[in-house]
Structure 1
Amino acid sequence: MKTATPATARAINDRLALDLLIEHGPLTAPRLRELTGLSRPTIADLVDRLTAAGLVEFVGEAEQIRRGPNARLYRLISERAHVVGVDLRRTGFTAAVADLSGQTVGTAARRFDTADTADGADSPDGTDADAADGEPDLVAMLTDAIREAADGRVPHIVVIGAPGLVRPYSGEPAGRNEVPGWRPDLPRELERVLGVKVLLENEVNLAAVAEHRLGAAVGRADFVLLWLDEGIGGAVVLDGRLRRGSSGGAGELGWLEVDGVGFCDRIGPEVRETIAPEELAEQIAKGAFAVVSVLDPGLLVLGGSAGRAAGEPLATLVEERLAAKSPIETEVRASTVEGDAVLRGAVLTGLDLVRDEVFGG
C-alpha cells in the first residue's frame, strides 16, 4: 500500500472542503473542522490555500454572541466557472447555465419552426449557413441560445443531451436522428464556433444521471431507467456507474420485440393515450421482464414525461405484473427528479468535469 504524500493529502482535504461548501453553503472554520474531522492548523492552512487560489472568500461573520476569528464565514467563489446543459429534442431545445455551486444563472429555449431555413441566414461566424433547405441552422440556433443564457459569462463546457446513440469513446453521434437541422459534426462545429469544449451524450443517459443523484434512484447502486416520452428508451446504471455498452446502445429498450411487436410501438405516445393503465402496465412489464432477467437491477424507474405524470399508481401496477412474471425481486418507482431531468443531468455531468478541472481531480 502506498502512503499518500503531503501534496496528495492537501489535495484531498481541499476537495473535501470545497465539496462541503457546495453542499452546505458558507461555513466557519470550526464548522469545517467538525464536518471534516481535520485539525485546527490543517483547516487554517486549507482556508489560506483556497483563498489564495481564488476558490474561497471571506463573506462576513456568523451570527453568534462571541465574535472573533472563528466566526468568519467562507464561501465558494461559485462564479469562478460555469457550465451549460442542453436538452435537445425533436421539437426544440432548452439551454441552462449553472455556476460551480450548481445554481442556475440563466436559461434560454428555442422551438423548431419550418420557417427556420438556411435561405438568407448567416452562420454564427458570419458565413452563409449551409443547412439543407427547410432545415434550421442548428449550430446557429444553439449558439444564439447558449450566449443568451450565459449573458456574457464564458462557459467551461457545454453538455448536450440528444436522442440517438453516442459512441462512448469518441463522443461522436452514431447514426441519424430526427432532430431538425441535425448534422454529424454538430459537437465539433459548435466547439469551433463557441470556443469551448462540447460533450454530446444520449439524453436518456443524462436523465439517468439526474435520477441517480437527485431522484428515485438516490442511494441505489443498480437500476434501470425506462424512458416514456416522445420516444421509448432506457439507461442502465450498475455498481453506481452509467453503462453505455461498446457502441452506446446499452439500455435501448425500445428496440425489444414484445409478442412480435416492437416495444416502442407497444407503449408509444399514441398507444398510451388509448389504453387503460392496467393494460399499459402489462405491456411495460412484458418489456421490462427481459432486462430484469438479464441484469437483475433491483429497481426500475419509470421516467420521461409520461412516467412522471402516471406516477406511483402506474409504478405499483408495473411492479405487481413484473412480480407475476419473474422471481427476481424488482422495485418499480416513478421518477422524482424535479424539472427537466435531461437538462439537470447535462448540468450535473458538466459540473463533475469542471469541478475536477478547477478544484483538482
Structure 2
Amino acid sequence: MTLAKPSLGLLRSLTDEHVLNELVAADRLTRAELSARTGISKPTIAESVRRLTDEGLLRDTGERSTGRGRAGSYFALADGLGSALAVEVTAAAIVAERIEVSGETVGRAVEEVPADPEPAAVAAALARAAERAIGTTGPARLAAVSAADPVDRGTGRLVELPDSPFLVGELDPPTVLAPYVSGRVTVDNDVHWAARAELEGGAPADFVYLYLGAGLGGAIVSDGAVRRGGAGIAGEVSHVITAGPDGRAMPFTEVFERLALHRPGSSAIDVPELLRRLAGAGAGAEPAASADAVVAAVCGVLVTIISLTDPEVIIVGGPWGTDERLLGPVVERLNGQPRRAAVRAATAAADTPLTAVRAFALTALRREVLARP
C-alpha cells in the first residue's frame, strides 16, 4: 500500500504553524534562529516568514542581530493580533483581565460586588470591569468566565438552585460581555475551573474535586476532562443525601442548618464558626458533637460519589475542606467502607479559578491566532 504524500499546502501550513508557535514563546527571533529551533531548512523558514509577514501575522522589528557571521533581521508577532478576556465573578468582587498572545496581562480591573446583590447591579459591575480591562483597544477576540454559582451549559447563564449562598440572579455573562468580546464567551463555575487547575497540576485522569467553604461544590473529572452533565451542573453536591446530626438522611446543605452553622439570614456556611468547632472538638461535648456530625456528613457524600463515579482520588479544597482536623477523621471513616478512594487536600492556590480561566483564555487565543483566517 502506497501512502499519499502530503500536499505542498499542508507542508507550508505546518511550517507556518511551527514558526508562529516559536514566536509565541519568544519575543523575537531571526530566520536563522527559527531554523535552528524548528529543524526546518533556512530557505523554507525564509519563505514561511515572508508569507506570514505578507498576511500581517509577523512584523520585521527593524532590529538586526550582532556578532560573528551575517546579520539577520529579527521578526516578532505583529501588533493587533487581538487579546482575550479572563473574568472571575465571586460574591465579593469581579476581576477582569485582558491578556495578549504573548501571555502578558495588559489590562486589569476589579469591581466590588455589593452585599445582597441584585442581578442588575452585578451585571453592571461585570460590564464596568470588562470595559476598564479592555480600555481603548477594541473588543477582545474571546472570553473565559468563572462564576461562583452553577452555570447552564447551553447558555452560559447562571443557574438558580435552592440554597445557593452566592446567587446573583439571572446573570447572563455572554450577553453582558457581548459589547466587549467579538467571539465566544466560555462560562463555567469556579469549582470546575479549580478541578481543571488540579488536572494541569498533575492530578490523575479520574478524580472528584469537592469544595467545602461558605458554599458547597463539586466537579467530576473522568478520562482527563471535567464532566459538566446535560445542563452543566454535574458535581453539585449541596443536595446529595447524607447522614444528618441525628443519624437521619437529609440533604448535605441541611446538615449545616441543623447544626446552626449558617450565617445569619443566609444559606452560606459560617466558616469561622465551623473551624472553631473543629478546633475545639476535644474540649467539650458541643464542639465534639458538631465536628463528628460534619465528618459523618462529608463521609456520606464521599461514599455516594465513590459508588457512582469510581474516582482514583478525591481532592478536597476550600477553607475548611483542606483542614487536617476534618480530613484526618474523614479518611479514617472511609477506610472502614467497602468501597473507598484516596483522599487528599487540594494543592492549588486560593486564586485557582482565575488562574485556570487565564490559562484557558490564553490557550484559546493562541489557537485562534495559529489557526489563521
Aligned to 2:360: 349
For residues 58-89 of structure 1, what are the alpha-carbon distances to aligned partners after superposition, in whole Å with 9 as ceiling and x for unaligned?
A: 45466x8434356x554444752111122112
Change (3 A) 1:326 1:272: farther
Aligned to 1:330: 342
Aligned to 1:105: 106
Change (3 A) 1:47 1:240: farther
Change (3 A) 1:9 1:305: farther
Between the two proteins, the alignment pairs up a number of residues equal to 335
Aligned to 2:54: 52
Aligned to 1:165: 150
TM-score scaled by structure 1? 0.75
2:153 and 2:228 in contact (8 A); partners too? yes
1:216 and 1:334 in contact (8 A); partners too? no
In 1, Cα distance between equivalents of 2:193 and 2:43:
41
Aligned to 2:251: 262
CA shift, 1:313, in A, is: 8.9
Unaligned runs of 5+ in 2: 244-248, 257-268, 282-290
Answer with 24-33 or 158-167: which moved more. Answer: 24-33
TM-score scaled by structure 2? 0.72
Q: Paired residue for 2:17, among 15, 18, 22?
A: 15
SS of 2:357's partner is helix
Report the residue type matching 1:86 in the other structure.
V
Change (3 A) 1:328 1:343: same
For residues 145-193 of structure 1, what are the alpha-carbon distances to aligned partners after superposition, in whole Å with 9 as ceiling and x for unaligned?
A: 21222232222223222233333234344436665753354532442x4
In 2, Cα distance between equivalents of 1:68 and 1:355:
32
Answer with 272-281 or 237-246: which moved more. Answer: 272-281
Change (3 A) 1:300 1:178: closer
2:198 and 2:346 in contact (8 A); partners too? no
CA shift, 1:351, in A, is: 2.8
In 2, Cα distance between equivalents of 1:37 and 1:354:
26
Aligned to 1:301: 315
Q: Paired residue for 1:292, among 306, 312, 330?
A: 306
Answer with 160-169 or 275-284: which moved more. Answer: 275-284
Q: Which of the pair has more CA radius of gyration?
A: 2
CA shift, 1:94, in A, is: 1.5
1:286 and 1:322 in contact (8 A); partners too? no
1:144 aligns with 2:144: no
Report the residue type matching 1:169 in the other structure.
G
1:171 and 1:200 in contact (8 A); partners too? yes
* Dislocated runs of 4+, deviation >6 Å: 312-317
1:114 and 1:135 in contact (8 A); partners too? no
In 1, Cα distance between equivalents of 2:331 and 2:39:
43
In 1, Cα distance between equivalents of 2:64 and 2:149:
51
In 2, Cα distance between equivalents of 1:17 and 1:293:
48
In 1, Cα distance between equivalents of 2:78 and 2:338:
51
**What does 1:228-243 align with in structure 2 at a 5 Å threshold?**
228-243=212-227
Aligned to 1:275: 278
Aligned to 1:124: none
Q: Paired residue for 2:198, among 211, 224, 236?
A: 211
Change (3 A) 1:271 1:2: farther
Superposition RMSD in Å: 3.7
Change (3 A) 1:115 1:90: closer
